[in-house]
Amino acid sequence: MDRDECAAAAIRGDEEALLKRIDMDKQQLYGIAYSYMRNETDTLEAIQETVCRVWTKRHTLREPKFFTTWMIQILIRVCMDERKKKIREKPVEAYVQRFEGETHPDDAAVRLDLAAQVQALPANYRMVIALKYYRDMTITEIAELLQKPDGTIRTWLNKALRILRSDMAVIKEGIQDERGNGDGVGAERSGYAE
Amino acid sequence: MSAEMETELEQSVPGMRNDRERVDRAMEGLPEAALDAAIRRGLEQGLKRARRGRRNRLSLLISVSALCMILLLTAFVRVSPAFAAVVRDIPGLSGFVKLIEGDKSLLAALDNEFIQPVNVSVEKNGYKLTVDGIIADEGRLVILYSVEGPGVTDQSEIDNYRLLDENGMEVMGGISSSHFPIGDSENAGTILHDYIDAVMVENEKLPQRIRFSVKLEGEWLEAEFPVDHDRFKGKREVFHLDKPFEIAGQRFTIKDAVITPLQVKLTVVSDPANVKRSNSFINMALVDEKGRRYTSKGGFGELDAEMTFHFQSSYFEQPKELTLVAEGLYLSERYKTFVINTETGETIAAPDQRIALDSIEQTADGIDLRIGMSNLDKTDAMLGYTFFEHKGTFKDAGGKTYPILDRSGVQIEWSASGATPAYYYYRIPKAEYKQPLTFDVKQYPGYVLEPVSIKIK
């Protein structure tokens, strides 16, 4: 069975065909989810939920050839919803904590700050950043996946970048302050300036 | 914004490239086994969720579909001037004939003396309730009753009514009353004639005994009477059809048809692969070889899955042929949302620009929303829509889920001509919402005209 035949069988309710078809795209799914989630546990959870929704909503897919796009659209929605859920469950500090746990000594501070800042963005901005800068997608590709006009995606991207830039400026100042006070955390972040 | 400015912006975010490389490195070691396991778990979860979904739909069926039926009923009722003069002369029935003259099945039943005289009366505080007779088959019960008492005229309104079976359980069905004031109040009679029409839910048996109560001028009166099942035993014709057909690119199958004295039931199943949500058929009817039309009053279920339509009965006419005809299909897009701000009253997104939040009222029990559908044409206005899932939920901007409160069914106000907007009333809890609120839309106006004709008999 080729991709489309497999997708068509999956839509009709063939479980094996569905698994086979998803297998063809799993690397891409993982890449997108990981770029957004930034940790393995949440990434796998998002993929699990996506497969679940793919199964229950399979009747709504008209053209088997759009299977991949359709599934990624679902994944994107799952990822963006996931964040909402997390925010309700945990205070923002938890993110920093989790990222600190994974830090490596080299550019840890930069990564920590940027990753945390991206995580703090509104879900749509964060998704656009993840797809554009971590998955190398074009504006048009992103627009198709998020089902928005190109112009909207461009606006989101620019707003996201502006927020990141201004946040980074604030963080930079903060770190310099800490350093000036001889704060230990500041010292650890010495690799910050590029 | 120009490309250069974009690049400049990108470069102004320090660490982006580094962070990207970090992500790439982390993904090089793709946790294949864990990923495959997550995919399998997702499928298992999906299988479970699909099963649960089906169960939920069944339990919702009764309330939602009962609603659907009543709406169609009222929209389709026409008081036709033609009715059998013979029937008018049957003693004791003249008061009812005018009431049921719009219903072919009931007139034919009366014509064929398919009526069970009851004559049970109860009296309380000067008020008297009489059940004069019933017309019943295996799936439908019509109670002809009258009320007398101080201040009661044939223009009086019944406040409320209740139908219980022999065990005191509510009768499961679509229950309606169609009381039309039939004369002017100056010459009002002193007896109020009315009838209650109960159409049983699929697979629900008509009770052996009925406890029927009406509330009038603040008084509840209850009369109890038996239903003689022998009168309609074996009076049914069944056709197993499994006939596929298509309207507007949506596929359906007619499963079967059951003809009994008071109704024809026709079950239609939708293809699960249908792209759009099918809401109902337009001007659906059964037509016999003499061109007589048996119209539908709606039915039970959801056409988007499976629906049993009820038609006026051809049972006593005994036609040689029956053909199902419809002029088209009511359908809507799936996965539409209605987004509103209940603080400003603003409608942010709607599936159709004719639909908007009309007003908001704070009451003791919650916040009442009135949603207006304007500029509906005659065809649009003929159907009542399940705009939001009955007893469904919605989300605020914080992602928190809240229930849509039950107001003993859903209230809808509309004119069959579409001349005035239709209003749908929903109640939501009082809460500290993060605006805006997002509701999933189920059905909304929209149709395609495409006639079909399918032979049933």
How many beta carbons lie within 10 A of that of residue A157, not counting itself? 22
Instruction: Please determine, for residue B75, whether its predicted confidence score (pLDDT) is greater than 80.
Output: no
- Cβ A111–B15 below 8 Å, yes or no? yes
Rounded CA gap, B309 and B265, in Å? 6
CA distance B449 to B291: 22
Question: In the prediction, which pLDDT does B114 show?
Answer: 86
Distance from C-alpha of A53 to C-alpha of A49, rounded to nearest angstrom: 6
Q: Check B27 against A34: CB less than 8 A apart.
A: yes
Identify whether the C-beta of residue B331 lies closer than 8 Å to the C-beta of residue B276: yes
A residues 37..56 contacting B (CB < 8 A): 38, 40, 44-45, 47-56
Secondary structure, 3-state, chain B: CCHHHHHHHHHCCCCHHHHHHHHHHHHHCCCHHHHHHHHHHHHHHHHHHHHHHHHHHHHHHHHHHHHHHHHHHHHHCCCCCCCCHHHHCCCCCHHHHHHHCCCHHHHHHHHCCCCEEEEEEEEECCEEEEEEEEEEECCEEEEEEEEECCCCCCCCCCCEEEEEECCCCECCEEEEECCCCCCCHHHCCCCEEEEEEEEECCCCCCCCEEEEEEEECCEEEEEEEECCHHHCCCCCEEEEEEEEEEECCEEEEEEEEEEECCEEEEEEEECCCCCCEEEEEECCEEEECCCCEEEEEEEEEECCCEEEEEECCCCCCCCCCEEEEEEEEEEECCCEEEEEECCCCEEEECCCCCEEEEEEEECCCCEEEEEEECCCCHHHHCCCCCCCCCCCEEECCCCCEEECECCCCCEEECCCCCCCCEEEEEEECCCCCCCCEEEEECCCCCEEEEEEEEECC
pLDDT for B269: 94
- Residues in A touching B276 (Cβ below 8 Å): none
Residues of B in contact with A50 (CB under 8 A): 42
pLDDT in tens, B266-286: 999 999 999 999 998 998 999
Poorest-pLDDT segment among A64-73, A185-194, B168-177: A185-194
Per-residue pLDDT at A101 exceeds 50? no
Q: How far apart, in whole angstroms, are the C-alpha atoms of residue A61 and residue A59? A: 6
Long-range contacts of A132-139 (CB under 8 A, 24+ apart): A132/A157, A133/B10, A133/B16, A133/B20, A134/A35, A134/B20, A134/B23, A135/A31, A135/A32, A135/A35
For residue B311, pLDDT over 60 is answered with: yes
Confidence of residue B187 (pLDDT cuts 50, 70, 90): low
Least confident of A59-68, B110-119, B401-410: B401-410
Tell whether A161 is within 8 A of chain B (Cβ): yes
Asked if B118 contacts B225 with a C-beta cutoff of 8 angstroms, the reply is yes
**Nearest-by-Cβ selection for B38 from A48, A107, A115:** A48
The verdict on a CB contact (< 8 Å) between B43 and A51 is yes
Highest mean pLDDT out of A97-111, B53-67, B303-317: B303-317
Q: Is the CB of residue B27 less than 8 Å away from at least one CB of chain A?
A: yes
User: Which member of A12, A44, A81 has the closest CB to residue B38?
Assistant: A44
pLDDT at A163: 83
Residue (of B229, B225, B223, B227) closest to B146 by Cα position: B223
Residue of B nearest to A154 (CA): B1
pLDDT band at A61 (very low <50, low <70, confident <90, very high): confident
Rounded CA-CA distance B377/B445 in Å is 10
Predicted confidence (pLDDT) per residue in B90-99, tens digit:
445 556 666 6
pLDDT of res. B409? 52
The tens digit of pLDDT for each residue in B104-161 reads 888 888 778 788 888 889 998 888 998 988 999 999 999 988 888 887 776 676 777 7
pLDDT at B363: 81
CA distance B349 to chain A (A): 14
Contact residues for A117 (Cβ-Cβ < 8 A; gap 6+): A163, A164, A167, A168, A171
Phi first, then psi, for residue B78 (nearest 5°) are -125, 135
Which pLDDT does position B418 carry in this prediction? 62
Could you count the other beta carbons within 10 Å of the beta carbon of residue B343? 11
Q: Which residues of B touch A168 (CB under 8 A)?
A: 13-15
Question: With 80 as the cut, is the pLDDT of residue B9 above it?
Answer: no
Q: Give start-end residues of each CATH 1.10.1740.10 domain in chain A.
A: 1-89
CA dihedral B69, B70, B74, B77 (to 10 degrees): 50
Identify the pLDDT of residue A57: 85
Q: What is the pLDDT of residue A85?
A: 54
* Interchain contact A181–B (C-beta under 8 A): no
pLDDT over 50 at B78, yes or no: no
pLDDT at B307 > cutoff 50: yes
Do B14 and A85 lie within an 8 Å CB cutoff?
no
Tell me whether residues B9 and A161 touch, CB distance under 8 A: yes
Q: Is A194 on the interface with B (CB under 8 A)?
A: yes
Residue B77, pLDDT score:
33
Name the burial class of residue A190, with classes exposed (0-12), middle (13-18) and buried (19+) by CB atoms within 10 angstroms of its CB.
exposed
Q: Does A5 touch chain B (CB under 8 A)?
A: no
pLDDT of B107? 81
Contact B13 A49 (CB under 8 A): no
User: Is B26 near chain A, with CB under 8 Å?
Assistant: yes
**Strand, helix or coil for residue A1:** coil
Q: What is the number of CB-based contacts under 8 A between chain A and chain B?
A: 129
**B250 in Cβ contact with B269 (< 8 Å):** no
Under 8 Å between Cβ of B110 and B158: no
**Tokens encoding B191:** 């007896």
Among B10, B46, B272, beta carbon nearest to A161: B10
Strand partners, B437: B340
- A60 min Cα distance to partner chain B (Å): 6
Q: Do B31 and A114 touch (CB under 8 A)?
A: no
Count of CA atoms in the C-beta half-sphere (13 A) of B338 = 26
Question: Nearest-CA distance from B276 to chain A in Å?
Answer: 8
Nearest alpha carbon to residue A124 among A89, A148, A88: A148
Asked if A111's CB is within 8 angstroms of B35's CB, the reply is: no
**Chain B residues with CB inside 8 Å of A112's CB?**
none
What part of A 114-143 touches B (C-beta under 8 Å)? 114-115, 118, 133-134
Distances B288 to B101, B138, B284, B292, B456 between C-alpha atoms, Å: 20, 23, 13, 5, 10
Provide the shortest C-alpha distance from residue A182 to chain B (in Å).
24
Could B46 and A23 be called an inter-chain contact, meaning their C-beta atoms sit closer than 8 Å?
A: no
**pLDDT in the model for residue B274:** 94
Question: Phi and psi for B141 in degrees, rounded to 5?
Answer: -135, 125
Distance, in angstroms, between B97 CA and closest chain A CA?
49
Q: Is the pLDDT of residue A143 over 70?
A: yes
Q: What tokens does A113 get?
A: 């700050």
- Give the whole-angstrom CA distance, residue A49 versus residue A55: 10
Place of tokens 């004369």: B183
CATH class for domain A1-89? mainly alpha
- What pLDDT does residue B308 have? 87
Instruction: Find, in chain A, the residue whose alpha carbon is nearest to that of B44.
Output: A52
Binary contact (A55, B46; C-beta < 8 A): yes
Question: According to the model, what pLDDT value does residue B146 have?
Answer: 87
Diameter of chain A by CA atoms?
66
What's residue B236's pLDDT?
Answer: 93
Q: Which of B12, B46, B399 sits opposite A56 (nearest CB)?
A: B46
Mean pLDDT to the nearest integer, B369-376: 90
Spatial separation of the C-alpha atoms in residues A10 and A14, rounded to whole Å:
5
DSSP characters for A99-147? HHHT--TTTHHHHHHHHHHHHHS-HHHHHHHIIIIIS---HHHHHHHHT
Find out whether B394 and B437 touch, Cβ atoms under 8 Å: yes
- Contact flag A51-B274 (C-beta cutoff 8 Å): no
Q: Which CATH class is domain A91-194?
A: mainly alpha
pLDDT digit string, tens, across residues B325-360: 999 999 999 999 999 999 999 999 999 999 999 989
* Contact criterion met (CB < 8 Å) for A11 and B6: no
- Say whether residue B43 is in contact with chain A using an 8 A CB cutoff: yes
Long-range contacts of residues A177-181, Cβ cutoff 8 Å, at least 24 apart:
none
What pLDDT, on the 0 to 100 scale, is given for residue B96?
66
When CB atoms are compared, the residue of A34, A107, A165 closest to B23 is A34
Q: Is the pLDDT of residue B251 over 90?
A: yes
| ipTM for the complex shown | 0.76
What confidence score (pLDDT) does residue B50 get?
61
Give B210 or B45, the one with higher predicted confidence. B210
- Measured from the Cβ of residue B249, the count of other Cβ atoms closer than 10 Å reads 12
* Nearest-neighbour CA in chain A from B203: distance (Å): 28
Q: Residues spanned by CATH 1.10.10.10 within chain A?
A: 91-194
pLDDT tens per residue, range B291-301: 999 988 777 77
Closest chain A residue to B24 measured between Cα atoms? A134
CA atoms within 13 A on the CB side of B153: 11
Quick one: tokens of B173? 């069905």
Residue A166 pLDDT exceeds 80: no
Mean pLDDT of chain A: 74
d(CA B38, CA B327): 48
On the question of pLDDT at A183 being above 90, the answer is no
- Interface check for B29 against chain A (CB to CB < 8 A): the answer is no
Where does the pLDDT of residue A92 fall: very low under 50, low under 70, confident under 90, or very high at 90 and above? very low
Q: Is residue B269 within 8 Å of B255, Cβ to Cβ? A: yes
Q: Do B53 and A56 touch (CB under 8 A)?
A: yes
Average pLDDT over residues B222-250: 94
| pLDDT score for B10 | 59
Residue A111 in this model has a pLDDT that exceeds 50: no
Which one of A31, A45, A59 has the shortest CB-CB distance to B27? Answer: A31
Average pLDDT, chain B: 80
Structure tokens at B194: 């009315």
Is the pLDDT at B372 greater than 70, yes or no? Answer: yes
Q: Taking CA atoms, what residue in B is nearest to A12? A: B273
A157 neighbourhood in chain B, CB within 8 Å: 6
